[in-house]
């Protein structure tokens, strides 16, 4: 948010750069009419990945948050693992109906919502009967649904499968562990966007974890849209009134602007603390000197004032 509001320079890091490069690479894999996945062999695809990753690192070198050969290699290998898993699972599958498809729809008066579906794939009635038997009536897909699934490619380390470190996890604990998968607003947003464009609901959404090759299925109903739209109304009203409340949470760890964010409150510096052995043995606080950015101005976003009575 600070990037848009304060006009700060865009930055990136190894996880994001690897993620966007894998997305581009998978997109390319679906652009050939000759070979199922563009390259004639997995070995050639893997060689092309290393070239693509090297080029991405060179191009983004000025905006990388950290320069580290070790991380260049580590994330190059992770990207290779994603590409290899994708190849092995998809070489014999039909091409998705859509790949990296961008849509823009009107959400509220003068407010547009833009989203990109990583993939839209068709699914047979037989497969729907396996994953969503509630949607099949007398062998036919229920009215209001399209025989498609949305697929979101994920390249991060964390997955929704805790069984490798908690093999005896209970059903309740697994549901709690995966709560965000089945409730989060990003997936609801994709469902809402698909519904706006096509007037029907997809039968499922797959959170496709490329590092492990595992896909996690979930879905949303139309009744989920209310919460999403209420939240978006709140966000849009904030934009219109130029109100940008800070949302401090775990995501701040990966924020490009946490230093600048700390400088927005002048009486306490950015800091970190070294742990102590218990509360009676001291510990140490490290602080950064305050550097209030000179000349940083708040962007005036030209949204129309809300009409009276609305």
Kindly list the residues in this chain that would bind ligand SF4 in the complex (CB under 6 A): 1-2, 246-248, 251-252, 255, 257-258, 261
Shortest separation between residue 57's beta carbon and ligand SF4, angstroms: 25
- Distance, CA of 219 to CA of 227 (rounded, Å): 15
Nearer to ligand SF4, 125 or 252 (CB): 252
- Distance, CA of 101 to CA of 116 (rounded, Å): 5
Shortest separation between residue 193's beta carbon and ligand SF4, angstroms: 24
Nearer to ligand SF4, 131 or 255 (CB): 255
Whole-number Cα distances in Å, 247 to 198, 221, 235, 243: 33, 28, 12, 12
Shortest separation between residue 38's beta carbon and ligand SF4, angstroms: 37
Nearer to ligand SF4, 159 or 258 (CB): 258
- The sheet that has 145-154: what strands, in order across it? 98-108, 111-122, 145-154, 201-209, 214-218
Shortest separation between residue 17's beta carbon and ligand SF4, angstroms: 19
Contacts of 306 (CB under 8 A, 6+ apart): 237, 240
Shortest separation between residue 9's beta carbon and ligand SF4, angstroms: 15
- Contact between 2 and 261 under an 8 Å Cβ cutoff? The reply is yes
Nearer to ligand SF4, 249 or 282 (CB): 249
Q: How many other CB atoms are found less than 10 A from the CB of residue 120?
A: 19
What percent helix, strand, coil does the chain show, rounded to 5?
40, 20, 40
- Distance, CA of 195 to CA of 224 (rounded, Å): 12
Q: Which of 228, 238, 292 is nearest to 263 (CA)?
A: 292
Please report how the helices 225-240 and 185-198 are oriented relative to each other, as an axis angle in degrees rounded to 10: 100
Shortest separation between residue 247's beta carbon and ligand SF4, angstroms: 5
Nearer to ligand SF4, 247 or 310 (CB): 247
Q: Which of 47, 43, 49 is nearest to 18 (CA)?
A: 49
Q: Where is 25: in which H helix or E strand? A: helix 14-29
Nearer to ligand SF4, 118 or 256 (CB): 256
Nearer to ligand SF4, 88 or 186 (CB): 186
Supply 310's token pair: 């609305």
Query: Reduced to 3 states, what is the DSSP secondary structure of residue 219?
Result: coil
Residue-by-residue DSSP string for 87-108: HHHHTTSPPPSEEEEEEEEEEE
Shortest separation between residue 278's beta carbon and ligand SF4, angstroms: 30
Nearer to ligand SF4, 175 or 246 (CB): 246
- Distance, CA of 90 to CA of 292 (rounded, Å): 51
Shortest separation between residue 82's beta carbon and ligand SF4, angstroms: 26
């Amino acid at each position: 948010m600070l990037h848009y509001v304060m006009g700060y320079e865009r930055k990136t890091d190894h996880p994001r750069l690897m993620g966007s490069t894998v997305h581009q690479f998978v997109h390319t894999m679906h652009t050939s009419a000759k070979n199922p996945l563009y390259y004639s062999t997995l070995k050639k695809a893997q060689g092309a990945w290393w070239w693509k990753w090297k080029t991405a690192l060179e191009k983004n070198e000025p905006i990388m948050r950290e320069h580290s050969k070790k991380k260049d290699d580590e994330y190059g290998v992770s990207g290779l693992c994603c590409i290899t898993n994708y190849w092995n699972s998809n070489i014999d599958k039909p091409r998705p109906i859509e790949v990296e498809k961008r849509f823009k729809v009107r959400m509220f008066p003068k407010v547009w919502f833009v989203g990109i579906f990583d993939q839209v794939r068709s699914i047979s009635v037989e497969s729907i009967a396996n994953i969503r038997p509630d949607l099949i009536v007398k062998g036919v897909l229920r009215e209001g649904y399209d025989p498609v699934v949305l697929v979101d490619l994920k390249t991060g380390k964390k997955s929704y499968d805790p069984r490798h470190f908690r093999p005896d996890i209970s059903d309740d604990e697994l549901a709690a562990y995966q709560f965000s998968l089945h409730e989060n607003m990003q997936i609801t947003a994709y469902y809402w966007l698909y519904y706006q464009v096509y007037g029907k609901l997809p039968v499922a959404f797959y959170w496709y974890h490329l590092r492990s090759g595992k896909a996690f299925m979930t879905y949303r109903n139309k009744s989920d849209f209310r919460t999403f739209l209420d939240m978006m109304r709140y966000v849009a009203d904030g934009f219109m009134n130029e109100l940008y409340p800070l949302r401090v949470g775990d995501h701040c760890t990966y924020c490009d602007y946490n230093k600048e964010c700390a400088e927005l409150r002048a009486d306490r510096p950015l800091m970190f603390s070294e742990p102590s052995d218990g509360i009676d043995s001291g510990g140490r606080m490290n602080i950064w000197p305050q550097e209030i950015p000179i000349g940083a101005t708040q962007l005036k976003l030209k949204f129309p004032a809300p009409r009276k009575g609305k």
